[in-house]
Amino acid sequence: MRALVKESSGPGIVLREVPVPRCGPSEVLIRVHHAGVCGTDLHIWEWDTWASNRLKLPVIVGHEFAGEITQVGQEAEAAGLLAVGDLVTAEGHVVCGHCLQCRLGDAHLCLRTQIIGVDRAGAFADYIVMPASNVMKLDGIPTEIGAIMDPMGNAVHTVLEAEVPGSTVLVLGCGPIGCFAVGVARAAGASLVIASDYNPKRLELARAMGAHVVLNPGSDDVVARVRELTHGDGVDLVCEMSGHPSGHAQAFAVARIGGRVNLLGTPNRTTEVDFARDIIFKGLTLYGVTGRKMYRTWHQMQRFLRAGQLDPRPVITHRFHLECIGEAIQVIKDGQAGKVILEVGA
Amino acid sequence: MRALVKESSGPGIVLREVPVPRCGPSEVLIRVHHAGVCGTDLHIWEWDTWASNRLKLPVIVGHEFAGEITQVGQEAEAAGLLAVGDLVTAEGHVVCGHCLQCRLGDAHLCLRTQIIGVDRAGAFADYIVMPASNVMKLDGIPTEIGAIMDPMGNAVHTVLEAEVPGSTVLVLGCGPIGCFAVGVARAAGASLVIASDYNPKRLELARAMGAHVVLNPGSDDVVARVRELTHGDGVDLVCEMSGHPSGHAQAFAVARIGGRVNLLGTPNRTTEVDFARDIIFKGLTLYGVTGRKMYRTWHQMQRFLRAGQLDPRPVITHRFHLECIGEAIQVIKDGQAGKVILEVGA
Amino acid sequence: MRALVKESSGPGIVLREVPVPRCGPSEVLIRVHHAGVCGTDLHIWEWDTWASNRLKLPVIVGHEFAGEITQVGQEAEAAGLLAVGDLVTAEGHVVCGHCLQCRLGDAHLCLRTQIIGVDRAGAFADYIVMPASNVMKLDGIPTEIGAIMDPMGNAVHTVLEAEVPGSTVLVLGCGPIGCFAVGVARAAGASLVIASDYNPKRLELARAMGAHVVLNPGSDDVVARVRELTHGDGVDLVCEMSGHPSGHAQAFAVARIGGRVNLLGTPNRTTEVDFARDIIFKGLTLYGVTGRKMYRTWHQMQRFLRAGQLDPRPVITHRFHLECIGEAIQVIKDGQAGKVILEVGA
Amino acid sequence: MRALVKESSGPGIVLREVPVPRCGPSEVLIRVHHAGVCGTDLHIWEWDTWASNRLKLPVIVGHEFAGEITQVGQEAEAAGLLAVGDLVTAEGHVVCGHCLQCRLGDAHLCLRTQIIGVDRAGAFADYIVMPASNVMKLDGIPTEIGAIMDPMGNAVHTVLEAEVPGSTVLVLGCGPIGCFAVGVARAAGASLVIASDYNPKRLELARAMGAHVVLNPGSDDVVARVRELTHGDGVDLVCEMSGHPSGHAQAFAVARIGGRVNLLGTPNRTTEVDFARDIIFKGLTLYGVTGRKMYRTWHQMQRFLRAGQLDPRPVITHRFHLECIGEAIQVIKDGQAGKVILEVGA
């Protein structure tokens, strides 16, 4: 089968013919239809410090996908819940089930997480093998949307880890996950959703996803504008998706007293925090977001998608074939892309 | 009546004769029996930047107290819930009831909080007037203990803003509130309570309050020891009560993946935070603690005290008469005191 | 001033001239603009067992209202938060602030609740006096809507005491509060809202408030239809607003395993419950709804109303002048009314 | 191997030689050391309606056990988390992982639950096969205690599904699970634990587990006594473990306004409930308890046991060898037993 493989140190990912993976007893084999390209894949392409520390080469890249089941392992078959022909997506974190976090229902924080496309064979390929427990039937959700439920799930996790109905929300950073967060906040009944980014193209996408107000820190005084829009209170919830220390500073400044800052954007350096002024006297709650709650997040997302409350399609700006991974990576680097999809098979 | 008054800029607090305050319709007048001396009073005595920015002089100092009701305002009397002779303590934050935070049940974060002994007449005096709504009957709790329910309440708030039964808890910083936190964590069913401080005297108090293990960062590798004691997991809850950036660093290092850091100690400078490594990838929750939940915290504390589950008396190390406020301040500055009590009347 | 007074045992309420009430130090005097007529007023008119056991006559009736502040008591004025000319509504439960429930933040369950129009002078009058703490500024919400925020708040409380975004909701009983609940569930991001009632007129109102599906137990098999609409799972949340034992039976039958039944409708007889089959083996949660959370419910409702997420006006079907109270009561008895408003002043 | 088998309709369970079960790829084979006899086993022995409707014969009985791993399946071995020689216990509910409830983190309510000893081969045998995911290492907890973590887990689930620290708790019904609940409530920091049962022997066990007060409805007015002990408020939490309609009536009568009733005891007939008076006007929450939260409950229980906060041994009153199952069943029927243990192997 075809697969995009990170073979060696240094930039790039290459298309290779590799064997179709073997399907174990509690696994299923999936024919990939669509896959999503993520910032993580960019790190792997560029072979930055994180990538070179984490990956053991060679590895098939890609962790966002949807497709069709073509084989079901013996144990999975006995369970009778998945069948050849089912259109599915999957949680890409393969977890141990036995560590403290797994036992407490926080499997998204499993000590022994293996991420597909990073720690084990990924989805930029004609086929991928997944544990049956990680697989979710699409039941009518198109595979193109199924392929981006991983990053959309990051947004669902970030937003719903707060009491959203009637709340005021600021999304800082409007990459694809930020744009999804805007849509999720609207779907979940937020009263006011403000989005902020330096990139006008991304602000357009945020508006298309339902932002009531978009702000550009290049021309807007974000803190002043948010205060004004909230009658001086600040917002109930900040979704920090920029990963910049300036985003953190804004987040703490505009979260209301007693409010909440959920942090997803991962900065590559430290931030100076005035804990007394910004966290303690304000009674703030901060929450670090990793992955998707397994599998509460997926369920909530499926509900929103099936009811038509959330439509992520405005965020999809580009589609490429598997062999055009270089172009896909380039449009992401150019900063003009929303979500980029690989059309793998059908 | 006698009152300890901050009259003018510069160090010191003076004993003065002042008129007994007038009791308004919805207020009660209380004869103070015991009062607690707090770090805040030290700031006021020393007239640091915070104090000189916040206080309007002259003001009667002191915000921790208990005593006996000697007069009940007309409206409060009509309500029939408080009577002359009742032994009481009181929440020292007088709140507006109308701001967003008050309306959401977070009156401890009221925008317009007036703190007795800071923003309005305080409790280091023979009498104090309080809104009836702020007053709690002691119903058998001695006034000496009633007088320190304000700082004990900070500890109750900090600890109980987590799921404590069966949990592992690290208390960083063993001043009086840290020591109370140790006792509260034990009362609430924590499985392991570790306390850390540089001051051996404070570690003794922490042990007296029930700490299973005490650590001194001067001689112990706190991070390594906590990991060892928790089989490598780290603790479920860190109560950060030191207010030092080094405390923050330790807190983030030893909180378990998916754990919680509740911050009460107020640092006087900023902390460098590696949000990616310490907050986001660990899925941590941080919570800034201000005051006491009005009045859930008081209720929980009364339950613990009345059932004998929590006994704060080991923390009380010194008692002074009102006129010896200078000595009281000095023992606190010397760092050898636990909780210091003023014996005002009876 | 004019007032609708329950003067004596037996049916009826009479219009009388009575003195304008005196405004105490912590109270405000309000000129009533609009008032809502409630099922409770019907009980009082009819003088049923509940009414004759509860009321001490004479009493001015009416507990749902909005109007304009015309006088502010001395203490309330000192607080500076309410002023003559403010358009306001108010929580009609006047609570003690000192009982266990009040101290725990559950003032809606205060042991000593005094309800206006039931236990103290009500709002079907030109003026009413209210504690300043119970009063909320409308800030742009029309007084006609302000006048029905009390029953709408019952619906907000019922619905939001669950995790609504993405959920499936069944509202059993489509009187005004049931219809409001439909609107609240939609505003809060429910994925599917089903409403059920025998009365076709009420089902029309439920549909106008946003119900995706309406069912009539007279012609529909409610349990079968709900199961079908939820792919066999049942709903996440049942809002029981019928108060009929048959409603309870349906609620327990169609709540999904692990789901929730929030009960507001008050039956006048007992229900047979199969706890093993319906509650325990299903892992259900039941919650009894009284009043509105003070004041979280009001805040959430104001957010929904101001953002335009909730518009209760379709439910208002009739308007009468104060002197036509008899006609207002009659249309409610006829079962053809949604919400009935009294136009009192302006 | 030896196994206690329910072979045919009618009373009794017989000891048989059967083949050691085969260990699948994701399973482990466990040599049973100790097993607990449960009321469920009594139903199976007696072959009541429930048993005859549910079981497909023949089946090996028994669902509470602990023992030693003697074989690890290929996939489970690859995971590297369980090894031959590990002393373990196991959750006896084998769940699908794919239904709505499983996906929401409520696997204890899985639609497709298979219970060992009921729906699949059980633990009253020399060996049992379990999915590796269901298995928990004892890490120092003796197998005798490990064998009763299933029913103790029911108690942990019931009690901890409430805010326990500082609370007042009534346990209605002091069978083994009720007695465990007493111990769990104490471990979790309850301020007052009251236990009620008609059986003086059981009240002795409840007292040995830490009940502050024991009541016998045969001689005590339970409702009056609980009110008195709680200063008229009623208790915060009732754990209903009697399964009798009279227990339900008491539960609703003595739960405080705004309190909680967690129901575990399964009645064999319906209860008349006055929803208006007992649930709605009191603002009660009811919660039906099934099984143990997978696996949060197990973790909390392990913490309590390892820290010595909970010691269930006073409840163990009888020990029998496998072949004496008839005697074990008899002591349970006689109502003089606490927990009955089978000593199977070592």
What does each C-alpha distance from B173 to B64, B157, D122 come to in angstroms? 21, 16, 51
Q: What does residue D218 show for φ and ψ, rounded to 5 degrees?
A: -65, -30
- Return phi, psi of residue C99, to 5°: -75, 170
- Residue B85: how many other CB atoms lie within 10 Å: 8
Burial class (CB in 10 A: 0-12, 13-18, 19+), D328: buried
Rounded CA-CA distance A194/A214 in Å is 6
Q: Model confidence at B346, in pLDDT bands (50, 70, 90)?
A: confident
Q: Is A245 exposed, middle or buried (0-12, 13-18, 19+ CB in 10 A)?
A: middle
Contact B263 A275 (CB under 8 A): yes
- Give the bridge partners for B147, in sequence order: none
**How far is the C-alpha of A247 from the C-alpha of A84, rounded, in Å?**
46
Mean pLDDT of chain D: 97
CA dist., res. B215 & res. B224, Å (int): 11
B101: contact with C, CB 8 A cutoff: no
Query: Residue A329 has what pLDDT?
Result: 97
Nearest residue in chain B measured CA to CA from D231: B139
The dihedral through the CA atoms of D65, D71, D74, D76 has a sign that is: positive
Query: Up-side HSE of residue C311: CA atoms within 13 Å toward CB?
Result: 7
The residue to which tokens 């949060």 are assigned: D296
For D281, which residue in chain C has the nearest alpha carbon?
C290
- Within 8 A of D301 by CB-CB distance, chain B residues are 166
The closest of A199, A198, A255, A192 to A223, measured between CA atoms, is: A255
- In sequence order, what are the beta bridge partners of C214? C195
CA nearest neighbour of D89 among D154, D41, D28? D28
Q: Between A and C, how many residue pairs show a Cβ–Cβ distance under 8 A? A: 57
DSSP letters, B96-125, are -S-SHHHHTT-GGG-TT-EEBTTTB--SSB
The answer to whether the CB of C200 falls within 8 A of the CB of C220 is: no
* Rounded Cα distance, D57 and D51, in Å: 10
Q: Mean per-residue pLDDT for B262-280?
A: 96
Instruction: Name which of B149, B156, B163 to mutate to probe chain D: the one with the most chain D Cβ atoms within 10 A of its Cβ.
Output: B163
Closest-CA residue to C290 (of D279, A262, B277, B255): D279
Q: Which two tokens stand for residue D3?
A: 């196994």
Assess B273–A contact: CB distance below 8 Å, yes or no: yes
Residues of chain B by 3-state class (helix, strand, coil), percent to 5: 35, 30, 40
Binding-face residues of A in 114-173 toward C, CB within 8 A: 160, 164-167
State which residue of chain D sits closest to A79, comparing Cα positions.
D96
Assess: ipTM above 0.90.
Answer: yes
Q: What is the mean pLDDT of residues D236-249?
A: 96
C and D: number of Cβ contacts within 8 A = 118
Mean pLDDT of D255-284: 97
3-class secondary-structure state, position B60: strand
For A58-99, write each residue's pLDDT tens digit.
999 999 999 999 999 999 999 999 999 999 999 999 999 999
Amino acid sitting at position C17? E
C-alpha separations of D320 from D35, D147, D316 in Å:
10, 13, 12
Helix, coil or strand: residue B251: helix
What sign does the CA torsion over D25, D28, D31, D37 have? negative
The per-residue pLDDT for A300 is 98
DSSP state at residue A232 = T
Residue B272, chain A, CB below 8 Å: the answer is yes
Please tell me what DSSP assigns to residue B116: B
Say how far apart CA C307 and CA D267 lie, in whole Å.
48
At residue B58, the pLDDT reads 98
Residue C145: the pLDDT is: 98
So what's the pLDDT on residue D336? Answer: 87
For chain D, give percent helix, strand, coil, nearest 5.
Answer: 35, 30, 40
Confidence of residue B319 (pLDDT cuts 50, 70, 90): very high
Residues of chain B contacting C295 with CB distance shorter than 8 Å: 102-105
Find tokens 């500890």 and name the residue.
B155
Span C308-318, pLDDT tens digits = 999 999 999 99
3-state secondary structure of A193: strand
φ, ψ (nearest 5 deg) of residue B243 = 70, 15
Each residue of A247-281: pLDDT tens digit? Answer: 999 999 999 999 999 999 999 999 999 999 999 99
C336: which residues sit within 8 A by CB, 6+ positions away? Answer: C201, C317
A346, pLDDT greater than 80: no
Nearest CA in chain A to C163: A163
Mean of pLDDT values over B64-88? 96
**Residue D135 DSSP SS3:** strand
Q: Which residues of C are catalytic?
A: 40, 43
Cα separations (Å) of C167 from C192, C208, C213, C259, C273? 7, 20, 15, 10, 25
Query: Rounded CA gap, B155 and A135, in Å?
Result: 45
Measured CA to CA, the distance from residue B162 to residue B197 in angstroms comes to 22
Q: Are C300 and A165 in contact (CB under 8 A)?
A: yes
All chains having 3 or more CB pairs closer than 8 angstroms to chain D: A, B, C
- Interface contact B165-D166, CB threshold 8 A: no
Q: Which chains touch B (3 or more CB pairs under 8 A)?
A: A, C, D
Interchain contact D243–C (C-beta under 8 A): yes
Helix (H, G, I), strand (E, B) or coil at C275: helix
Of B161, B145, B112, B199, which is closest to residue B286 (Cα–Cα)?
B161
- CA distances, B181 to each of B136, B184, B205, B243 (Å): 21, 5, 12, 15
Question: Residue D346: what pLDDT?
Answer: 77
| pLDDT < 50 positions in chain C | none
Q: What average pLDDT does the segment B10-21 reach?
A: 97
DSSP collapsed to 3 states, C101-155: HHHCCCHHHCCCCEEECCCECCCCECEEEEEHHHEEECCCCCHHHHCCHHHHHHH
The pLDDT assigned to A336 comes to 87
Q: Is the pLDDT of residue B19 over 90?
A: yes
User: Three-class SS of residue B256?
Assistant: strand
| Average model confidence (pLDDT) across chain A | 97
Q: What's the whole-number mean pLDDT along residues A277-286? A: 98
Give the pairing type, strands A2-6 and A59-60: antiparallel
Residues from chain C that touch D48, judged by Cβ atoms under 8 A, are: none
For C105, list phi and psi in degrees, rounded to 5: 85, 10
Identify the helix (H) or strand (E) that includes residue B320. strand B316-321
Which residue, D146, D139, D156, is CA-closest to D123?
D146
| C251 three-class SS | helix
Rg, chain C, Cα only: 20
Angle of the D176-187 helix axis to the D149-160 helix axis, nearest 10: 50
Residues with Cβ within 8 Å of residue C301, at least 6 apart in sequence = A166, C149, C152, C153, C156, C310
Does the beta-carbon distance from A270 to B274 stay under 8 Å? yes
Under an 8 A CB cutoff, do C309 and A192 touch? no
CA separation for the pair C4, B328 (Å, rounded): 63
Tokens for D287, please give them: 């919660």
Distance CA B91, CA B31 (A): 16
Q: Which residues of A are designated catalytic?
A: 40, 43
Report cis status (omega within 30 of 0) of the bond before C58.
yes
Question: CB-CB: which of C248, C275, C285 is closest to D267?
Answer: C275
Of C164, C192, C306, the CB nearest to A165: C164
| Residue A276, token pair as written in the block | 């007394």
